[in-house]
Amino acid sequence: MRHDILIADRILPADTLPLEVAVVVPTLNEAANVEKLIAKLSVVLAGRGWEVVFVDDNSPDGTSELVRRIGRGSRHVRIVQRVGRRGLSSAVVEGILATAAPVVAVMDGDLQHSEDALPRLIDAVAGGEADVAVGTRYGAGGGIGDWDEGRARMSRLATRAGQIALGTDVSDPMSGFFAIRRDAFERALPHLSAIGFKILLDILASSPTPLKVAEIPYRFRTREAGESKIGARVIAEYAELIADKTIGRVVPVRLLKFLMVGGLGVFVHLAVLRAVLGAGSAFVTAQTVAVMTAIAFNFFLNNSFTYADRKLKGWRLVGGLASFYAISALGAVANIGIGTWMAGHDERWWVAGVAGVVVGAIWNFAMSSALTWRK
């Protein structure tokens, strides 16, 4: 069916309608679902000025190439291919920034979000009913499909954690299926964490003014092709996002992670020290080996945990380790210097010791962020 519109006495074909809405679809290895999703969108969005923006994290299954090939024959279809970057939340942010549409919808590329609910999400926002319309699995008429009890329980717990962090009664703050006005997104944009997979929760928690929310129920479907991305990393990133939107307002979460790694490094230091002393080495030798080992331990754990989004690989890993050793050595000097100075001013020994540790830790964190794991 052909859909035309009359503008200024001219008949425009459907593919030149003024852009009303963009559907942002973050993907990783979803080539098997791309054509089906585009076909479904073409049906439910017929008569609207729309486009779909796939944001693909350089999928090895050829998702980007497939979308690009389809896009050559359809102006509705666009691709943003990211190389060297990963993460659903950051992909959604880049996709929204890549379109000029005044209303943006977000949905997964695995066909588990019901496209039948998409027009209602868009209309709720475009009509002024809400700033953001959320596709909810937990409202009346919604459902979680064929999840087993373990996954359902985990989802309920995570949902409750999100509600507590937001201080809201939104029934499904973890939903990845929603529509939002561009101006509402742009107000939240400077404050976004862009951590992990739950961008809706991030937007709701980051907006400087409360967003008016409409909830549209839908039934979550079973994945037709491809593999689920849910795993330990997803859970860890969700916990980090919750922390960032609560205690992170006072103390940066990355600093807390850095200090956690440092705390583990203390135990590594003591264990190595005891082992080397037990082998009959002199204290200075054992202490040197323990320090070198603990610094290396801290570096590699920070690289995978604290700075996972800036993870060093290849030869950069070698240079990063060298710089971390240098930074840690200067941090140790600062630790000793501050502690000694405070002890000389008749401060209690433990106060001087703690002050030295704090100064050394802050130095290590600041310089590591600026040099070793610089953006």
The two three-digit tokens of residue 246, written as one number: 């609560």
Q: What pLDDT sits at residue 64?
A: 94
Instruction: Compute mean pLDDT per 10 residues along the chain, 375 residues long, and list them.
Output: 43 67 94 93 94 94 94 93 85 94 94 92 93 87 68 71 71 87 94 76 86 90 59 61 65 82 84 85 79 89 85 90 90 70 65 67 88 85
Smallest Cα–Cα separation from 112: which of 229, 231, 239, 232?
Answer: 229
Q: How many residues does the chain have?
A: 375
Question: What residues form DSSP beta bridges with 6?
Answer: 11
C-beta of residue 260 within 8 angstroms of C-beta of residue 177: no
Q: What pLDDT sits at residue 349?
A: 57
C-beta of residue 50 within 8 angstroms of C-beta of residue 77: no
The two three-digit tokens of residue 243, written as one number: 């922390």
The two three-digit tokens of residue 234, written as one number: 């997803």
- CATH code of domain 5-249: 3.90.550.10
Q: What pLDDT sits at residue 5?
A: 41
